[in-house]
Amino acid sequence: MITVTKPDLPPLEEYMEYLKKIWTSRWLTNNGEYVQLLQRELVEHLSTKDLVLVSNGTLAIELALKVLEIKGEVITTPFTFPATTNAILWEGLTPVFADIDPETFNIDPREVEKRITQKTSAILAVHVFGNPCYVKELQEIAHRHDVKLIYDAAAAFGVEYEYQPVLDYGDLSILSLHATKVFHTIEGGAIAVKDETLSEKLRLLRDHGIKSAEQVAIVGTNAKMNEFQAVMGICNLKYVDEKIQRRKRLYEYYKRKLSKYVKFQKLTASKYNYGYMPVYFDDIGKRDEVYSKLLKNGIEPRKYFFPLTTSSDYFKRESVDLVKKYDLRKAHDISNRILCLPLYPDLKTRDVDRVMRIIEDTLDTKES
């Protein structure tokens, strides 16, 4: 089976060397030596002021909403992984959906503007597939309406917009360091922070609000990254730039060969990480036929992101068509035509050729 992605792993002997040290120290979690080391290395690698490491990307979003004391309504996109919407709901907030730009797949600032009300306290925008949003337009809207701007930058590791790290934009940005990402710590997440006060509070929030052995300063949770996760990150970080270059070569190969058959996401990044290979078709029928043919031939693409998060069961129970309510026609259309093809550094060119051949044969047959 050729899967849509495959986790990158460092040489086993390198990981084992760190494990021996962990076995000796028996310090497994609770802001250990390797969590602190990874934090320093990532700050340097990503050129950020500070990063707070946590156990996963979903908790990173929840902590971002918590530390900024977000209340009421949060404007977001329906074209995203469920974690974005789930985190808003989990924090007792109300998601309000805005349509997307059908070329970049990101939330459309003009649609965000339409959704602003007196109840709006934040915009939670997603850099979809790591592709930067229209950050300047969103910042202007957030500033003018005095609302917070948070970026779900889950897939935007190392990405730059106009030669500036994408993590620098907004009040906070979060990363996912999940196993399927370009860079991972098995499970994991991070919050990019520019404000020292927020940074200190986030570190309290991720560890039950514990300030000292005898003082619990605020209500917190357990979102700590452990040493095993951190060591995986330390090992992977040495190879991430090289693997991104391999991804880039495969991404560009796909584009050269498939341009006659599919359309591609418009990239806004000045530096990109090629974490995904999204393509979209003329209609849902072609997408679904290609999807079916690939599966039958041992190839597993994914319909990212289908369906929209507005189609989740918990919204269906309310008997409200959110696509109509928020006029999400563009997001709905892209969701019905999107398909992410296999892309990872170990993927062989001959396997990419096989994927493309099935797509070409399927669509040529359908047209004839």
CATH number at residue 269: 3.90.1150.10
| Residues 342, 284 within the same domain | yes
For the stretch 183-238, pLDDT in tens is 999 999 999 999 999 999 999 999 999 999 999 999 999 999 999 999 999 999 99
Percent of the chain, pLDDT > 90? Answer: 97
| Residues 284, 180 within the same domain | no
| Residues 127, 50 within the same domain | yes
**For residue 368, is pLDDT > 80?**
no
Number of domains in the chain: 2
For the stretch 195-206, pLDDT in tens is 999 999 999 999
| pLDDT at site 149 | 98
For the stretch 13-41, pLDDT in tens is 999 999 999 999 999 999 999 999 999 99
**For residue 269, is pLDDT > 80?**
yes
What does the pLDDT average to over 308-333? 93
| Residues 214, 326 within the same domain | no
Q: Is the model more confident about 65 or about 320? A: 65
| Residues 9, 148 within the same domain | yes
Q: Is the model more confident about 306 or about 317? A: 306
| Residues 207, 258 within the same domain | no
| Residues 223, 99 within the same domain | yes
| Residues 54, 111 within the same domain | yes
| pLDDT at site 318 | 78
- In whole numbers, what is the pLDDT of the chain averaged over residues? 97
| Residues 45, 81 within the same domain | yes
Question: Domain holding 17: CATH number?
Answer: 3.40.640.10
Residue 169's domain spans which residues? 2-237
Percent of the chain, pLDDT > 70? Answer: 99
| Residues 294, 230 within the same domain | no
What does the pLDDT average to over 76-85? 98
3-state SS of the chain is CEECCCCCCCCHHHHHHHHHHHHHHCCCCCCCHHHHHHHHHHHHHHCCCEEEEECCHHHHHHHHHHHCCCCCEEEECCCCCHHHHHHHHHCCCEEEECCECCCCCCECHHHHHHHCCCCEEEEEEECHHHCCCCHHHHHHHHHHHCCEEEEECCCCCCCEECCEEHHHCCCEEEEECCCCCCCCCCCCEEEEECCHHHHHHHHHHCECCEEECCEECCCCCECCCCHHHHHHHHHHHCCHHHHHHHHHHHHHHHHHHHCCCCEECCCCCCECCCCCEEEECCCHHHHHHHHHHHHHCCEECECCCCCCHHHCHHHHCCCCCHHHHCCCHHHHHHHCCEEEECCCCCCCHHHHHHHHHHHHHHHHHHHC
| Residues 225, 273 within the same domain | no
